[in-house]
Amino acid sequence: MTYFLIGDSITLTLFVILIFAFTYYIYNLLTNNIFRRIGIPGPTPIPFLGEIFNVIRKGLYKNDMDLVKKYGKIVGIYEGTSSIILLSDPDLLRNVLIKDSYAFINRRSAEGLIGPLEHGLLSLKDDHWKNARAIVSPTFSTAKLKAMYSLMDQTSDMFNDRLLEYADKQEIFNIKEISQHFALDTIGSCLFGIETNSLQNENATLVKHLKGIFTLSLANLIIIVYFISPRLARYLYTKGYSILPKNTMDYLTELLNQILNRRRQHLERRNDFIQIMVDHEEQVKHDEQQTGTLTKTLNDKEILGQALVFLLAGYETTSTLMSFFFYVMATEPEIQEKVYQEIQQEIGDNEIKPDNINQLHYLDMVINETLRMYPPVIRFDRVASNDYRLGDYQILKGFIISVPVYPIHHDPIVWPDPEKFIPERFSSTEKAKRHPMSFLAFGDGPRNCIGMRFALLEAKIAIVKALRVVEIQCCEKTEIPIKLNKLKVLVPKQGIWLRAVRRSQ
């Protein structure tokens, strides 16, 4: 009897302690809410989770739309225990991203949790980032992109062959999956120097590993823990828990090291990112021997980090752009016909090259309207590196400015009838009327998307080749309107099912 009384007493004591701790947490949250002190409007945070609960419930893009609609263009929110300013005011965005970019040069990063990605451009900070960006930038110069064109041409031919195969068999297909395979093959060839051939072999070992990276969701426990307690998440990482699959990271690291060794031994040479990095190493060594000047190069971890960033950033975003583009082609047949007629007029049956692709102005408008309506990345961040005056508010060093791209792209004041697909919004006349910060598909400022031109070129090549030979149509499984997933990258929830018909028919 005494044992049970003691047990009940301990249980009651623990319960009282928990209630007291929870009450103290709520009191502390309400009285020390930094946004209340500085006057930035926003919702009362949900204990421990902040807006994470609503993001899981509604989806990031819907929750951002609701927050901006209710509280305005500057909103103070909590993601777990992190204080975030959701900023969509165009003038203040121009200051943060461009005019005063020196004060917001860094992005938010999950340090201690993402392995090799910590050495990538998305995570590097200050001078480390500047140095890496300067070394990597030549990869995406006009000359280098033209040199990579033949590699893109090969993968776009395989993409075309798949569409023709479906057309001849009269089979419907998920354009999202095919676009992912195309993006993976193109990035693997142009940046890693490897032939993934996922368009022809969906079950290849490398393909399985890479697809595993993109199964992440807010249901991933370590991600939830990171938002609530970054310190605890980093501790769990040391115990083997990771945001990214460890076996995949080990596989990619070993694969890249093999490629680097072959290139350094001059056993093979390609016009790709890895070769550019090896050539830079050799040039720096030569210059040091000649002049004695020390110049920074990227080590193997940093090269792997950049390669993984390009893979992660390019695979899902490029395939998302292409998927929604073809969805628009199917649901807006008049627009598809205009794109086709422009291709016939400007290129016809001639060889597709970067120069004549740049003459397809209506195609550009359609792609930009696709990116407006379905921005692949619906949030990006900047971190204040010192105290800063943001409009009427004084924010502190370390504050995170998060840019909600989806609400900006669907603002009815800037974009009348925002849910209607109107390519003419991006005519030169209409663009001149708008604030430059009203379209942020690739971010802006010095930390904008470094691979923007690469992504647009690979997408355009595949699109032009496809529309010359097939017409894209809706099928019985096409969702109208389409249902979207709840992740940070905007993707269709159930895929995008379409049909292709040969033009000759």
Please say whether the beta carbons of 343 and 468 come within 8 A: yes
For the segment 120-131, what is each residue's pLDDT rounded down to a tens digit?
888 888 888 998
Cα separation of 64 and 93, whole Å? 16
**190 appears as a binding residue in the annotation:** no
Burial class of residue 159 in the structure, from the number of CB atoms within 10 Å of its CB (0-12 exposed, 13-18 middle, 19+ buried): buried
For the segment 142-184, what is each residue's pLDDT rounded down to a tens digit?
888 888 888 899 999 999 999 999 999 999 999 998 998 899 8
406-441 as b/e: b if 16+ CB within 10 A: bbbbbbeebbeebeebbbebbeeeeeeeeeebbbbb
33-502 — its CATH code? 1.10.630.10
Residue written as tokens 């390609």? 270
Find all residues with CB under 8 Å of 169, minimum gap 6, and list them: none
For the segment 338-388, what is each residue's pLDDT rounded down to a tens digit?
999 999 999 988 888 888 998 999 999 999 999 999 999 899 999 999 999
For the segment 23-49, what is each residue's pLDDT rounded down to a tens digit?
545 545 554 578 988 999 999 888 878
Is 303's pLDDT higher than 50? Answer: yes
Nearest to 97 by CA among 347, 448, 424, 438: 448
Find all residues with CB under 8 Å of 449, minimum gap 6, and list them: 313, 442, 443, 455
Please report which confidence band the pLDDT of residue 119 belongs to, taking 50, 70 and 90 as the band edges.
Answer: confident
Rounded mean pLDDT, 424-434: 96
Cα-to-chain-centroid distance, residue 338: 29
Cα separation of 404 and 401, whole Å? 10
Q: Where are the domains of the chain?
A: 33-502
Cα separation of 491 and 316, whole Å? 9
Nearest to 103 by CA among 449, 388, 445, 440: 388
What letter does residue 16 receive in the DSSP assignment?
H
- What whole-number percentage of the chain has pLDDT above 90? 46
The predicted structure's pLDDT at residue 498: 97
